[in-house]
Structure 1
Amino acid sequence: MASTTFRTKTENDWNSLYYRFKQGKQFEAELSIGVQVPKGRWSHSKQEILATTLMDFKKTNAQLKEFNIFINREYQNSKLVGEILAPRAWLKEKIKIFFNQETSNPDIDKTIFLSNFIDAFMEEAKTKRTKKNTPVKSRTVQHYQTTLNKVKDYEIHIGKRIKLLDLNLKFHNRFIEFLEFEQHLNPNTIGGYVDDIKLFCSNADKKEYPVCKDFKLTEFYSPSNETSDIYLNETDIKKIFEKDFPQDYLDNARDWFIIGLWTGLRVSDLLTLDKSNIDGEFIFQTNAKTDYPTIIPIHDQVQSILDKRKGDFPRQISDQKFNIYIKEVCKIAKISEVVSGSKVVPITIERNGKKEIIHRKKFGKYEKHELVSSHSCRRSFASNLYGKIDSLTIMKITAHKTESQFLKYIKITPKEYALKLKQHWNKVKF
């Protein structure tokens, strides 16, 4: 049986606590564990901190007992696998592991700390292949990085590192509260981060790293809410198409917008179109997100734009400028119906006693042009065609894999459904 002892070596106001672990002649080491005890409050005979108002002595005593059990267990596990131990280095590493400190050994740290695991996970993703034998998308890795940033923000907020073993329902609830009330994020955004956390846990579990299994519970849910994005109906699109824009940058953005509204392409696919994507009466494009080939017939308004530009697409612009310009385009075209939706607005918050301005989505009533974004292209395309042709045909163009995903894109209001029913009844009157 191993011999273990805690002791102090000084008589200062605060004194470091040392831990000695000895197993016969094979193993002996003594190191500071980073815990300090007030002068005169350490009992060597009882091996505990005596009652004091200067620290939480009960909690620390409980932690010391857990630490002693941990070291004994780790030592026995090491012997079972025949590991050759360098006493001081081994004990130093185990002290760091128990007290939530990095060991400087990446192979060990990634099996313990969430942020280290995510770093390793992203590194693997650079060379990893998907089930379809395609590389992991850079946008996917970018989202992993954003999740890692949120994890680090949370660690700063609570003042401690998060271990894989800490990822229980308590963490889940507090992490969501942090993202909602401290970071002021909406449920769908939070849900994306929780999805990543569950993916990391699942991967760590498959690697047989020590990870809390709470991620498998239904209570470890990913928050979500119904999106309030708007769509442009065919009357709106006609107004935009027929409006003259003397400014070249707005005319160029309007033309891209019309093409997007009649193709349903994601902005990453839309703004890269050129002559090579045209074949007769069709536009061919490979979906950058899914690698799915898309073939779309050229709408009359799109053909008019191509004819105006001698068979070519508009001048290429960035996603960011496209989103800015199309709001201006819609404002000038008087797309001003007041609708419910979410708009990014500046809000003032207080952090560490200082006021800070951040930008977050705020739900409210706005003129439609204020809510237009590049995403409006796909939503408008799907919503305007829904009910006119079969859903499967629309899904083949929008590259939605499931009908449930597709239906989330349909933004027809209850009133519009009622008007459609009324029009149908008017046609079939007896």
Structure 2
Amino acid sequence: MASGKFRIKTDNEWNTIYYRFKQGGQFDIELSTGIQTPKGRWSQSKQKILDTPKINFKDFNLKLQELDTIVRKEYEDSKINSTSIDSMWLKKRISSFFKRETKNKETDSRVFLTNFIEVFIKESHNKKSRNNTPISKKTIQHYTTTLNKVIALEKYINKRVLLKDIDIEFHSKMIDFLETKQHLNPNTIGGYIDDIKLFCRNASRKGIEIPNDYRFPEFYSPTNKTKDIYLKEEEINKIYHTNFNLDYLENAKDWFIIGVRTGFRISDFLKLTKKNIDGGFIEKTTKKTDFPVITPLHDQVQAILDKRNGSFPRKISDQKFNDYIKIVCKEIGMTELVEGAKICPIQIIDENGEKKKIHRKKSGKFPKYQLVTSHVCRRSFATNLYGKIDTLTIMKITGHKTESQFLDYIKITPKEYAEKLKQYWKKTQL
């Protein structure tokens, strides 16, 4: 029968405890446990550390007993699948028991959160969503960003995060770190917590030991209501009817009108070509959802194509579009102060005590033109059409899967709802 014994090999001020595991002539393996005992405080006959104020000897002795029990059990289990028992096998058991990294991907992914996320990301490239479509690159990129945030937390607390440590305390530490050290807003933090809960569910399905805390209401995803803007029809028409002497502004203006009148995301409308036009309709398989969307050519979009001999405006980058459209909106007088959020530079003191400039979203009152970005196109499209045609039709173009998501997306104020009711009453009065 296999036996396990502990021993020390030196008589120094501190001595490493080794574990020897042997079975007749089949194998005889000895490896370091990584635990050290003070000089003269190891009893070979009792197989334990004697009383000493220098370490928590009771805890260490308990751990050594547990290690021996685990190794013996896993050795007996290995007989079923004819596992080879060698120094690598024992090293994995010792490292796994003490939650140390083994450099073995499968073993480490069942112990450490970051290692698990790395495997999860790798597997995501071959997974499909509920709609039987591949996981989008943007989603996988968000997983990677969440991984980087966990790595940053580990660096800050100088400790690896174990899967068995993902509890309410970890949740609090993560949120506090992202708020106070990374200076992120609640919605952004909530996205990272959502990912961590997804990783926990996946780990649980794989039979990995993990606390159930991620299922509790206290393991919440922070959020806050943002006051996103949209442009009303009169503002859109003013942009459309304004001619700009500078070609790059005229080009950006035309792209903006196309975005507003199609309801596409910037990743889709800036990629439109003649090939997407068919019999008075624009057809495009959207990048984010990989779903074909068909929308009729608006008169303003048709006029833009006509003045360009049937072609779409000159290609520009997402960043230049967002920069130029702010200038366009400023030029037409969109300078009133409104509530919203925009990316602003802030100065922080980093972990080395040095001043550093970073960019974060800040809420407040700003001139309206400063808040106009590509997102305003799609939001204005949906908001202006809401109540004029059935909601399902708009959702088919915007890609919202539920009406609750759609209603949260559109930005009609309570006053505007009241105005709609007022106009309706006027029409129905005798």
The normalised TM-score by structure 2 is 0.89
Q: How big is the shift at 1:72?
A: 4.2
Which residue matches 2:305?
306
Q: How many residues align?
A: 428
% identical equivalent positions: 57
Q: How big is the shift at 1:26?
A: 5.6
Q: 3-state DSSP class of the match of 1:358?
A: strand
Alignment of 1:328 with 2:327, yes or no, is yes
Q: How big is the shift at 1:231?
A: 0.8
Paired amino acid for 1:92: K
Which residue matches 1:376?
376
1:324 and 1:371 mapped to 2: Cα distance? Answer: 11
Give a deviation string over 1:195-247, Cα, whole Å, max 9, x none.
22232233333333444444344443333222322111112212222222222
Give a deviation string over 1:327-380, Cα, whole Å, max 9, x none.
222122221221111111112222322222221111111111111111111111
Do 1:341 and 1:365's aligned partners in 2 also have CA atoms closer than 8 Å?
Answer: yes
Kindly report which structure 2 residues correspond to 1:262-341, keeping only aligned pairs within 5 A, or say none: 262-341=261-340
Do 2:136 and 2:289's aligned partners in 1 also have CA atoms closer than 8 Å?
Answer: no
Which residue matches 1:195?
194
2:364 and 2:48 mapped to 1: Cα distance? Answer: 62
Which residue matches 1:117?
116
1:357 and 1:21 mapped to 2: Cα distance? Answer: 56
Do 1:344 and 1:362's aligned partners in 2 also have CA atoms closer than 8 Å?
Answer: yes
Identify if the C-alpha distance between structure 1 residues 174 and 43 changes in structure 2 by more than 3 Å, giving closer, same or farther: farther
Q: How big is the shift at 1:30?
A: 2.8
2:271 and 2:50 mapped to 1: Cα distance? Answer: 68
Identify if the C-alpha distance between structure 1 residues 47 and 56 changes in structure 2 by more than 3 Å, giving closer, same or farther: closer
1:171 and 1:327 mapped to 2: Cα distance? Answer: 41
1:72 and 1:349 mapped to 2: Cα distance? Answer: 53
Which residue matches 1:242?
241
Q: 3-state DSSP class of the match of 1:276?
A: helix
Do 2:37 and 2:49's aligned partners in 1 also have CA atoms closer than 8 Å?
Answer: no
1:49 and 1:298 mapped to 2: Cα distance? Answer: 84
Kindly report which structure 2 residues correspond to 1:62-73, keeping only aligned pairs within 5 A, or say none: 63-64=63-64, 66-73=66-73
Which residue matches 1:167?
166
| Alignment RMSD | 2.7
Q: How big is the shift at 1:68?
A: 4.4
1:222 and 1:24 mapped to 2: Cα distance? Answer: 55
Do 1:100 and 1:161's aligned partners in 2 also have CA atoms closer than 8 Å?
Answer: no
Kindly report which structure 2 residues correspond to 1:388-403, keeping only aligned pairs within 5 A, or say none: 388-403=388-403
1:59 and 1:325 mapped to 2: Cα distance? Answer: 65
1:282 and 1:33 mapped to 2: Cα distance? Answer: 70
Which residue matches 2:49?
48
Identify if the C-alpha distance between structure 1 residues 418 and 41 changes in structure 2 by more than 3 Å, giving closer, same or farther: farther
Q: How big is the shift at 1:57?
A: 5.5
Q: How big is the shift at 1:318?
A: 1.4
Paired amino acid for 1:74: E
Identify if the C-alpha distance between structure 1 residues 281 and 87 changes in structure 2 by more than 3 Å, giving closer, same or farther: closer
Q: 3-state DSSP class of the match of 1:375?
A: helix
Do 2:133 and 2:290's aligned partners in 1 also have CA atoms closer than 8 Å?
Answer: no
1:152 and 1:361 mapped to 2: Cα distance? Answer: 23
Do 1:41 and 1:52's aligned partners in 2 also have CA atoms closer than 8 Å?
Answer: no
Paired amino acid for 1:120: V
Q: How big is the shift at 1:427?
A: 4.0
Paired amino acid for 1:418: A
Give a deviation string over 1:68-109, Cα, whole Å, max 9, x none.
454344344434x34444343222112221233222222322
Q: How big is the shift at 1:60?
A: 4.8
Identify if the C-alpha distance between structure 1 residues 387 and 90 changes in structure 2 by more than 3 Å, giving closer, same or farther: same
Q: Which moved more, 1:127-136 or 1:189-198?
A: 127-136
1:327 and 1:62 mapped to 2: Cα distance? Answer: 66
Identify if the C-alpha distance between structure 1 residues 354 and 299 changes in structure 2 by more than 3 Å, giving closer, same or farther: same
Which residue matches 2:421?
421
1:240 and 1:371 mapped to 2: Cα distance? Answer: 16
Paired amino acid for 1:413: T
Identify if the C-alpha distance between structure 1 residues 419 and 31 changes in structure 2 by more than 3 Å, giving closer, same or farther: same
Q: How big is the shift at 1:276?
A: 1.3
Identify if the C-alpha distance between structure 1 residues 424 and 177 changes in structure 2 by more than 3 Å, giving closer, same or farther: same
- Unaligned regions of 5+ residues in structure 2, if any? none
Do 1:42 and 1:50's aligned partners in 2 also have CA atoms closer than 8 Å?
Answer: no
Identify if the C-alpha distance between structure 1 residues 174 and 425 changes in structure 2 by more than 3 Å, giving closer, same or farther: same
Alignment of 1:358 with 2:369, yes or no, is no
Do 2:178 and 2:189's aligned partners in 1 also have CA atoms closer than 8 Å?
Answer: yes
Give a deviation string over 1:248-293, Cα, whole Å, max 9, x none.
1111111101111111101111101011112233222222222222
1:62 and 1:362 mapped to 2: Cα distance? Answer: 52
1:351 and 1:39 mapped to 2: Cα distance? Answer: 42
Kindly report which structure 2 residues correspond to 1:57-96, keeping only aligned pairs within 5 A, or say none: 60=60, 63-64=63-64, 66-79=66-79, 81-96=80-95
1:6 and 1:415 mapped to 2: Cα distance? Answer: 77
Which residue matches 1:184?
183
- Unaligned regions of 5+ residues in structure 1, if any? none
Q: Which moved more, 1:192-201 or 1:339-348?
A: 192-201
Give a deviation string over 1:363-399, Cα, whole Å, max 9, x none.
1111111111111111111111112222112111112
Paired amino acid for 1:224: T
Paired amino acid for 1:12: N
Paired amino acid for 2:173: R
Identify if the C-alpha distance between structure 1 residues 337 and 320 changes in structure 2 by more than 3 Å, giving closer, same or farther: same
2:59 and 2:153 mapped to 1: Cα distance? Answer: 23
Identify if the C-alpha distance between structure 1 residues 250 and 43 changes in structure 2 by more than 3 Å, giving closer, same or farther: farther
Do 1:43 and 1:50's aligned partners in 2 also have CA atoms closer than 8 Å?
Answer: no
Q: 3-state DSSP class of the match of 1:17?
A: strand
Paired amino acid for 1:360: R
Identify if the C-alpha distance between structure 1 residues 93 and 238 changes in structure 2 by more than 3 Å, giving closer, same or farther: same
Identify if the C-alpha distance between structure 1 residues 124 and 233 changes in structure 2 by more than 3 Å, giving closer, same or farther: same
Identify if the C-alpha distance between structure 1 residues 336 and 62 changes in structure 2 by more than 3 Å, giving closer, same or farther: farther
1:377 and 1:224 mapped to 2: Cα distance? Answer: 24
Q: How big is the shift at 1:426?
A: 4.0
Identify if the C-alpha distance between structure 1 residues 217 and 78 changes in structure 2 by more than 3 Å, giving closer, same or farther: farther
